[in-house]
Amino acid sequence: MSAVIYPTTNLKATEQMVIERGEGVYVYDNQGKQYLEALSGLWCTGLGYGNRELIDCISEQLEKLSFTHMFGGKTHQPGIDLADKLAAMVPVKDAKVFFGNSGSDANDSHMKLLRYYFNAIGRPEKRKIITRERAYHGVTVAAGSLTSLPATASAVSPCRRPLTRPPETDLPL
């Protein structure tokens, strides 16, 4: 067993399948066996594996700017362009786009935005979120608390206890 801790995996049953490569809608394990990848890499590879147009586009962007964040007013043109393109596709006037790193992050962000919105309009008591039985919403604390699958229900529960926040110190960082 390697040093990797895998999300939502029984720690006694890890590394049962090692995926080595992908092509189109298929992935191949390290024994060469082909599998239909029906989850699109947990919804991150909807365009398939080895998509030449996507590879070329990513390679071109990596040469210009491999990464930069969009926190605190900082941005980049590809992010602005993508947000504008996505906003133009939805049937909402003056739509806005929020980028996240994963479905879990998206659900956490949605919960935060809902709380912010209802606080801003003077309805802070609006806190109820309805989730369906056997629903999967992610593995972070907030998204995991919405998830109601038996395998994760006992491992991830809402953070209900107050957090302790000691005063800030003048310790050097």
Instruction: Render pLDDT for 43-69 as a digit per residue (tens, 0 to 9).
Output: 778 889 999 999 999 999 999 999 999
What domains are defined for the chain?
1-67 (3.90.1150.10)
Mean pLDDT of the chain: 86
131 or 36: whose pLDDT is higher? 36
Closest CA to 104 of 56, 152, 62, 60: 152
Which of 9-13, 78-82, 125-129, 148-152 is the least confident region?
148-152
d(Cα 76, Cα 64) in Å, to the nearest integer?
A: 11
Instruction: Please state the pTM of the whole predicted model.
Output: 0.71
Contacts of 111 (CB under 8 A, 6+ apart): 129, 142, 143
- pLDDT bracket for residue 162 (50, 70, 90): low
CA–CA distance from 169 to each of 39, 111, 156, 163 (Å)? 47, 30, 31, 18
Using DSSP's 3-state secondary structure scheme, residue 62 falls into helix
Torsion sign (Cα): 101, 106, 107, 109: positive
Instruction: Render pLDDT for 94-107 as a digit per residue (tens, 0 to 9).
Output: 999 999 888 889 99
CA–CA distance from 9 to each of 57, 105, 155 (Å)? 34, 19, 11
